[in-house]
């Protein structure tokens, strides 16, 4: 009789083989990251339209948007009751739910998923709120690495100026829960400076593709297209075995895969 | 074991499958420590799960991992608003349940031990831990436990197997963490010891 670790090892090996076979059929996951006011959403929309014009089926997923968890977060933000740990865990739950119900099913079916903010948003903001990055990483584990991460780099001044031109930053967006500053604009500037520092560090470690978000919209879009076409995909069998296995083990519609395992 | 379970500033964890069983045990413990101010912190103190239950029933069900993340969020809330303030005032607090019930559920659902341990590392270790085997049958207490909630959400093909895996994990707590099985005799013995 095989011992449990041996059975698991064999299951993992079979999964790796299965993922390698699936590699050409699966969709690509592209993440757009960066501070508020960096122009991600504008670029994400242009990019999506371009992908569709190229004949790809595209699914978009936005930060904090799951129909299950978002209402919980919204209600707690409204009464300003969240501490950094609750803020982190609720966003991690929202992310996990979207990953399991939107992102992975779409990728498995060969669709391209464009994420308007991905887990790095959670990591940067939670670290800026003073949480231990290892603990935050664990809350988001197992991680599903995107094929590409476009990081829209702007200075705190530009981010603050662009946001101030259109609206007053909200309480948590301005980081008023931790800066304790009454003025949302002052607080936003202080908080976004920390968030950008965290983003820059993550960008180095995880080798994001940096887009100079101070450029014109047109120039940014052109460089995104170019970078997308020349960047190789990240093989699932190499990077994402844990995350995909975690999902496949529970996804009822993946019965055929479970039988294969 | 300490002869007096309920002491000033003590955090007592009550772990188990049955919500009613846990509440009956909490009531007994509270009565036992009646000379002290004893507070009870129940799961879903933040109403996260209540609100989740009122959401759109047609949505996809959350996975065990998402449920555990939400339980951890609720526990942060309970620690911040219920447990720690009461402990600071010198009260004895009974957490119904605390960390191990969620860990038992996570393990039974196949989540990695290391992930669960790291996730709950914000929670201080309780002074005492009991696991409750009794389902609370025959009592007038009506309470749905976290595990019963999860079972209803996930609707597993073999709920008895899930329960027995969780029960096995909770039983093993005695060996691994010194978490005792809760029985009424335990309190009688504690009272006798305190009188001596």
The alpha-carbon gap from A40 to the nearest alpha carbon of chain B, in Å, equals: 28
Domain assignment of residue B6, yes or no: no
Domain assignment of residue A134, yes or no: yes
Confidence (pLDDT) at B31 = 84
The alpha-carbon gap from A101 to the nearest alpha carbon of chain B, in Å, equals: 7
- What pTM did the predictor assign? 0.92
Domain assignment of residue A257, yes or no: no
Q: What percent of chain B has pLDDT over 70?
A: 86
Domain assignment of residue B4, yes or no: no
- Mean pLDDT on A154-174: 95
The alpha-carbon gap from A94 to the nearest alpha carbon of chain B, in Å, equals: 8
Q: What would the pLDDT profile of A10-24 be if each residue is shown by its tens digit?
A: 777 888 888 888 898
The reply to whether residue A93 touches residue B66, judged by beta carbons under 8 angstroms, is yes
Query: Domain of A173?
Result: 30-234
Taking a contact as any Cβ pair under 8 Å apart, which residues of chain B between 119 and 138 contact chain A? 119, 121-122
Helix axes A119-128, A133-140, angle to 10 degrees: 150
For all residues of chain A together, what is the average pLDDT?
Answer: 92
Q: Using alpha carbons only, give the angle A112, A117, A118 rounded to the nearest 5 degrees.
A: 75
In angstroms, how far is CA A117 from the centroid of its own chain? Answer: 5
Confidence (pLDDT) at A97 = 97
**B95 or A251, which is more confident?**
B95
Domain assignment of residue B2, yes or no: no
Confidence (pLDDT) at A261 = 46
Residue in B56, B80, B118 nearest the CB of A135: B118
- Mean pLDDT on B136-148: 73
Q: Based on the structure, what is the number of domains in chain A?
A: 1
Q: What would the pLDDT profile of A40-82 be if each residue is shown by its tens digit?
A: 999 999 999 999 999 999 999 999 999 999 999 999 999 999 9
B58 touches chain A (CB under 8 A): no
pLDDT of A141 over the 90 cut:
yes
Can you give the CATH number for the domain in which A229 is found?
A: 3.40.50.300
Query: Domain of B146?
Result: 11-195
pLDDT grade, residue A111 (50/70/90)? very high
Q: Which residues pair with B41 in a beta bridge?
A: B95
Q: What is the ipTM of this complex?
A: 0.92
Confidence (pLDDT) at A101 = 95
The reply to whether residue B80 touches residue A83, judged by beta carbons under 8 angstroms, is yes
- Mean pLDDT on B76-102: 95
Q: Based on the structure, what is the number of domains in chain B?
A: 1
pLDDT of A187 over the 90 cut:
yes
Residue in B52, B76, B118 nearest the CB of A89: B76
What is d(CA A98, CA A15) in angstroms, rounded to the nearest whole number? 22
Domain assignment of residue A70, yes or no: yes
Domain assignment of residue B3, yes or no: no
What stretches of chain A adopt beta strand conformation (E)?
29-33, 58-62, 112-116, 148-153, 209-212
Can you give the CATH number for the domain in which B130 is found?
A: 3.40.50.300
Which residues in chain A are contacts of B110 at CB distance < 8 A? 249
Q: What phi-psi label fits residue B15: left (phi over 0), alpha (psi between -120 and 50 degrees) or beta?
A: beta
Q: What would the pLDDT profile of B93-138 be if each residue is shown by its tens digit?
A: 999 999 999 999 999 999 999 999 999 999 999 999 999 987 755 5
pLDDT grade, residue B46 (50/70/90)? very high
- Mean pLDDT on B39-43: 94
Taking a contact as any Cβ pair under 8 Å apart, which residues of chain A between 63 and 122 contact chain B? 67-69, 71-72, 75, 83, 85-86, 89-90, 92-93, 96-97, 100-101
The alpha-carbon gap from B179 to the nearest alpha carbon of chain A, in Å, equals: 26
pLDDT of B1 over the 50 cut:
no
Confidence (pLDDT) at B80 = 97
pLDDT of A260 over the 60 cut:
no
Domain assignment of residue B1, yes or no: no
pLDDT of A258 over the 70 cut:
no
Q: Is A150 helix (H, G, I), strand (E, B) or coil?
A: strand
Domain assignment of residue B5, yes or no: no
> What is the DSSP track for chain B?
--S-SS-TT-EEEEEES-HHHHHHHHHHHHHHTTTS-EEEEETTTT-HHHHHHTS-TTSPPPPHHHHHHHHHHHHHHHIIIIIHHHHHTT-EEEEES-SHHHHHHHHHTT--HHHHHHHTTTSPPPSEEEEE----TTSS-----HHHHHHHHH--S-HHHHHHHHHHHHHHHHHHH--EEP-HHHHHHHHHHHH-
Domain assignment of residue A59, yes or no: yes
The reply to whether residue B119 touches residue A139, judged by beta carbons under 8 angstroms, is yes
The reply to whether residue B69 touches residue A83, judged by beta carbons under 8 angstroms, is no
Confidence (pLDDT) at A11 = 74
Domain assignment of residue A136, yes or no: yes
DSSP letter at A67?
Answer: T
pLDDT of B186 over the 80 cut:
no
B113 touches chain A (CB under 8 A): no
Domain assignment of residue B110, yes or no: yes
pLDDT of B82 over the 90 cut:
yes
Residue in A67, A69, A249 nearest the CB of B56: A67
């Amino acid at each position: 009789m095989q011992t449990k670790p041996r059975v698991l090892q064999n299951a993992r090996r079979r999964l790796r083989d299965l993922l390698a076979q699936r590699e050409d059929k699966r969709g690509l996951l592209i993440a757009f990251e960066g501070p508020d006011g960096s122009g991600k959403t504008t670029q994400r929309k242009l990019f999506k339209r371009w992908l569709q014009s190229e004949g790809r089926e595209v699914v978009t997923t936005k930060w904090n948007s799951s129909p299950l968890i978002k209402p919980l977060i919204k209600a707690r933000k409204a009464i300003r009751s969240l501490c950094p740990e609750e803020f982190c865990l609720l966003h991690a739950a929202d992310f996990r739910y979207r990953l399991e119900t939107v992102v992975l099913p779409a990728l498995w079916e060969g669709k391209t998923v464009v994420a308007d903010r991905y887990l790095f948003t959670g990591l940067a903001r939670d670290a800026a709120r003073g949480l231990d990055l290892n603990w935050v990483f664990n809350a988001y584990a197992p991680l599903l690495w995107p094929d590409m991460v476009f990081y829209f780099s702007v200075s705190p001044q530009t981010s603050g100026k662009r946001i101030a031109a259109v609206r007053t930053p909200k309480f948590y967006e301005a980081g008023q829960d931790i800066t304790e500053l009454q003025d949302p604009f002052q607080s936003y500037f202080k908080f976004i400076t920390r968030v950008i520092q965290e983003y820059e560090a993550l960008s180095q470690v995880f080798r994001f593709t940096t887009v100079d978000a101070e450029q014109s919209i047109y120039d940014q879009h052109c460089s995104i297209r170019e970078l997308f076409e020349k960047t190789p995909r990240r093989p699932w069998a190499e990077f994402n075995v844990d995350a995909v296995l975690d999902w496949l083990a529970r996804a009822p519609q993946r019965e055929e895969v479970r039988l294969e395992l | 074991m300490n002869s007096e379970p309920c002491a000033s500033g003590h955090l007592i964890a009550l772990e188990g499958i049955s919500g009613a069983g846990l509440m009956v045990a909490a009531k007994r413990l509270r009565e036992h420590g009646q000379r002290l101010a004893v507070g009870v912190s129940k799961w879903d103190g933040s109403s996260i799960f209540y609100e989740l239950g009122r959401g759109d029933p047609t949505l996809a069900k959350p996975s065990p991992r998402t449920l555990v993340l939400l339980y951890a969020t609720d526990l942060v809330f309970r620690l911040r608003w219920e447990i720690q303030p009461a402990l600071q005032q010198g009260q004895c607090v009974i957490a119904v349940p605390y960390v191990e019930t969620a860990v038992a559920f996570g393990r039974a659902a196949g989540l990695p031990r290391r992930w669960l341990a790291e996730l709950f590392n914000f929670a201080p270790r309780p002074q005492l831990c009991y696991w409750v085997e009794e389902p609370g049958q025959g009592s007038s207490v009506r309470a749905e436990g976290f595990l019963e909630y999860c079972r209803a959400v996930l609707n597993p093909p073999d709920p008895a197997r899930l329960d027995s895996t969780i029960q096995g994990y909770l039983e093993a707590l005695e060996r691994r963490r010194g978490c005792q099985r809760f029985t009424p005799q335990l309190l009688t013995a504690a009272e006798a010891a305190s009188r001596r």
